[in-house]
Structure 1
């Protein structure tokens, strides 16, 4: 039998739930990085909504709302309801909202502390997978985000739906040469991806052919992310123009500007930059989506996990909307969800979005919290307040179909083998010894359990409630 954390986990959770409920603070002190000044932000909590008493929602085997029958295809799909709400639809034909957790793994880089804790608490990776799946479902999570340890987690008796990252451009870049590691993502020369390389299209087809058939018939797979945080920037044209004359990207940019403006030496205008960014993004999504759909026509294409300047780019969202089923976005720097921005995304793309990364770190973890883009707050209870506050804003957004909290486990500061953005920070729902941060999880569970009730509430009472 697996060595279960459940009794300890929920004994701690119930104690913290009482603390969280009793502490009705509606403000949180927050800052952007260690040493930055603190400021005060308001929060809206689940308790602020006039909801009726919770009643169990019947769920299908994948976590969909079994009260609502929809067309079943045997795989996940998307559908826009008559009222404008976008839904993911389970293979069994019920509306589903993805409440997920990213990087659900039994190890963390080369951390000796994590490996020893794994042996002590679980014994084997299989026991870890069974126990973790049970515990995440008990916290109201229904899906696994990017970079999760899908092999053992998929093998459990009752798995969670999962996602996969295949890194088409990143993998091509490693084969081609010229890429380098940046915090959180791959770097490219002049921030210009290799989308105009003549070999890229064939590489994508061969890459997909080697990887996608293994999962193409799996109903538990939600879909694919094709890369992470590509540099779709407002001055992408300028970046490509700085490439050497014999580089395929530099040559393509000069030819494009020459056709558009009559000369490759013309200073680009704002309209030129937007049009070229659309050209780059369109080519990337067209090539990658064709490869994915050729070798797996069954699963959703979830995009390339947009971030930074791309989140404000009409050109990028419009291009993605031509090819992507659900557009993944990594959101940082927003304390309150920017619903005006979300409405623009929907207008530009005509597609729903999924928040593929978001988190907040707390000082009471004892970690330095110098890496990563998330906010810093004082306590784990403050992390819980932020979770409820931000999640409520996503739930009242009709084009949002879910979120994936980043991440399952904290970073081990002693492990320098990891990505530079994941070195010393309190991002997880667990510490590096698999102990839950109950101030956070005590706020996650009651909201996660009422996701379908909350979606109905916002749709009935207006999305500004």
Structure 2
């Protein structure tokens, strides 16, 4: 790694961008003046008013280090880096703040062009006062966005720009580095003046942005505009009724979806025998409910007639009073029968958008129309823990659930996801939980395996470094011993095998024509990662398709470990923004609407060309509510906004990808 000290010439290019386009060049210049720049895979080309480098290898980057004192980025919401690409092809650039996995920004910089890479400055935690003033909200007024970050914005020691696909000879220039949008915490009179901050349509009152409405007529106009647009874009004419490739090769038709490796790439095959790649969206027509009980002061009056049936958009659940502004706004434009029109429109939208899959947690009424293929889901987990797979009731329970599922025999159902984002830990984790008593049936199984392996309890004691007098003592103990590592690894694999095997057997018994789509690993960085590969490899023995919720900026590096070969699917991904009136940019920040749409397009195209991937499912259909769902998520991540109008940039990206995805994958 090469190191350069920043000169005053570079510092003069740096500025701080404030609200109202006012700028001040002092703060960042002072910060950088005390730091250094390190690079890997880059040679310095020139140094004038910018940092100019030439790549010497595939994959390169630059790291800005604070030096002896850390930087204070806490007064701002964004770090913005202006990158110029001198190459004759586009470059992907990703910014990492303080080396944190979640605090990132990214952009694709076209050939001979310049782009700004906007990174959201996350807050590790909120003050007690902010939590009391804005309960159950992950993003707050003033720019606070909470996520699993490992740094504090008042103490930043580095940030980096990485070019993972840069080629030798490509040249880049860092034109400018700015801190943007002042951060604010509300309290006292300023807080009182902010209230209420949600209008009668569910919009954030202080924000100004394209598409913000002021009356019911605006909702109706947006609906008419969309209807005209869908007439112009009826959907890909080369698709069959399921969204498979009607103009592609004809394979064996079984009347259900299946998976097959065809010409070196994994594919789904639809019931007609056509190649199928799953381009999907989760939570279709799922809603945007937010709890209003105890937070009434946040909301402006809904201005509805006294005789309106509020049950059409308000529900009671677990002590919460949940309002869906999305449903309310559909009621405003369509009346009390809005659900019928919503169901019809959801299917027509997906076809128009070149989306061929209704993915997890979607509206059952939309699914039952049998107009769009879908994935089903069942759950066996307790929180993030698996159940005891050695319990005689485990497989029976799965079979019972499947026996009540209409999807088991439905040709429109692609298959079943079972569970979501389980906590697998390392390759000793499940055995450790067993020793600690979480899985009593598994513990009996563990004992039996040890009895079979060791000639005597004394031999186990010598290996483990334990002093058990009887096997009953072993059963009563919850201690882990240093010498037990080999047995813990072995039994953890045994438990995992039992979990996946029982589910596979249950599916064979009750839904033999449906694919087992896995458990949706939350390994966004998996690419044969040795820490995670043990459980992914086990899953691949039983799952027809192994699934990942992959919140990264790309899918190109996702592949099986070692020399294994199996199909994969991405169950969740998204890129969020802050320029449409919501307060949090989601799990992967996308900046403005055009950039997040561009990220979507590249992500899905990367997946389409990945020979192991058979689909991607975006999370989710709706933007979330300003004041958040039950766990506080209030992300701008939807295909549609709060008044049921499309986020057009994202729709255009999906159409573009869907129009050519089969031709692209078949190359």
TM-score strictly above 0.5: yes
Q: Does 1:396 pair with 2:609?
A: yes
Q: Could you say if the C-alpha distance between residues 385 and 270 of structure 1 is closer, same or farther in structure 2, counting changes exceeding 3 Å?
A: farther
RMSD of aligned alpha carbons: 3.2
- Determine whether 1:132 maps to 2:346: yes
Aligned match of 2:408: 216
Residue 377 of structure 2 aligns with which residue?
Answer: 165
Instruction: Give 3-state SS (helix, strand or coil) of 1:336's partner.
Output: coil
Cα separation, 2, equivalents of 1:126 and 1:39? 50
Which deviations, in whole Å up to 9, do the C-alpha atoms of 1:390-447 show, x marking residues without a partner? Answer: 222212210100100010011113354x3x2x62111211222212222322322212
Aligned to 1:176: none
For 1:43 and 1:438, how far apart are their aligned partners in 2? Answer: 29
Q: Secondary structure at the match of 2:542?
A: coil
CA contact (8 A) 1:27 1:41 kept: no
- In 2, the alpha carbon distance for the partners of 1:160 and 1:24 equals 40
User: Distance in 1 between the 2:653 and 2:331 partners?
Assistant: 29
Matched ranges for 1:347-426 at <5 A: 347-348=563-564, 350-369=565-584, 374-416=587-629, 418=630, 420=631, 423-426=633-636
Q: 1:250 to 1:360 in 2, by over 3 A?
A: farther
Question: How far is the alpha carbon of 1:351 from its aligned partner?
Answer: 2.0
- Within the alignment, does 1:113 sit opposite 2:335 as a pair? no
Q: Give a deviation string over 1:175-194, Cα, whole Å, max 9, x none.
A: xxxx4xxxxxx234xxx643
**Tell me, what secondary structure is at the counterpart of 2:241?**
coil
Provide the C-alpha distance between the structure 2 equivalents of 1:253 and 1:310, rounded to a whole number of angstroms. Answer: 32
List per-residue Cα deviations over 1:318-373 (Å, max 9, x = no partner).
Answer: 222222111111012x323352x41428x44x320110100011121332227x6x
* Partner of residue 561, structure 2: 344
Structure 1 residues 78 and 187: alpha-carbon distance in aligned structure 2, compared to 1, 3 A threshold? closer
Mark the CA change 1:270 to 1:71 in structure 2 (over 3 Å): closer, same or farther. Answer: farther
- 415, 424, 433: which one aligns with 1:240: 433
Unpaired stretches in structure 1, ≥5 consecutive residues: 1-19, 45-54, 171-178, 180-185, 460-465
Deviations 1:79-115 (A, max 9, x none): 101x310110010010000000001025333333122
Deviates more, 1:288-297 or 1:25-34: 25-34
Which residue of 125, 129, 142 maps to 2:356? Answer: 142
Aligned residue for 2:63? none
Relative to its length, the structure with more helix (as a share) is 1
The structure whose Rg is larger is 2
After superposition, the Cα gap between the structure-2 partners of 1:260 and 1:402, relative to the gap in structure 1 and judged at 3 Å, is farther
In the comparison of the two structures, how many residue pairs are matched? 396
1:452 Cα deviation (Å)? 0.9
Greater relative CO, 1 or 2 (CA 8 Å, sep 6+): 1
Give the alignment's TM-score, normalised by structure 1: 0.76
Could you tell me whether the CA contact under 8 Å between 1:377 and 1:383 is conserved in 2?
yes
Take 2:407 and 2:270, find their aligned partners in 1: how far apart are those partners? 16
SS of equivalent to 1:365 = coil
| Paired residue secondary structure (2:280) | strand
Match of 2:496 in 1: 281
**Distance of aligned partners of 1:279 and 1:119 in 2 relative to their CA distance in 1, 3 Å threshold:** same
- Check if 1:440 corresponds to 2:624: no
Q: Is the 8 A contact 1:58 1:65 kept in 2?
A: yes
- State TM-score, norm by structure 2: 0.54
Query: Residue 51 of structure 1 corresponds to which residue in structure 2?
Result: none
Q: Could you list the per-position Cα deviations for residues 365-385 of structure 1 after superposition, in whole angstroms to 9, with x for gaps in the alignment?
A: 332227x6x211321111112
Q: 2:243 aligns with which of 40, 63, 66?
A: 63
Q: Does 2:267 align with 1:87? A: yes
Distance 1:242-1:381 versus aligned 2 partners, 3 A rule: farther
Aligned to 1:315: 534
Q: Residue in 2 aligned with 1:74?
A: 255
Kept in 2: contact 1:275–1:315 (CA 8 A): no
The separation in 2 between residues aligned to 1:25 and 1:386, in whole angstroms, is: 16
Q: How far is 1:304 from its partner?
A: 1.0
Encode CA deviations 1:52-84: one digit per residue, 9 max, x unaligned. xxx966221111111211100000001101x31
Secondary structure at the counterpart of residue 366 of structure 1: coil
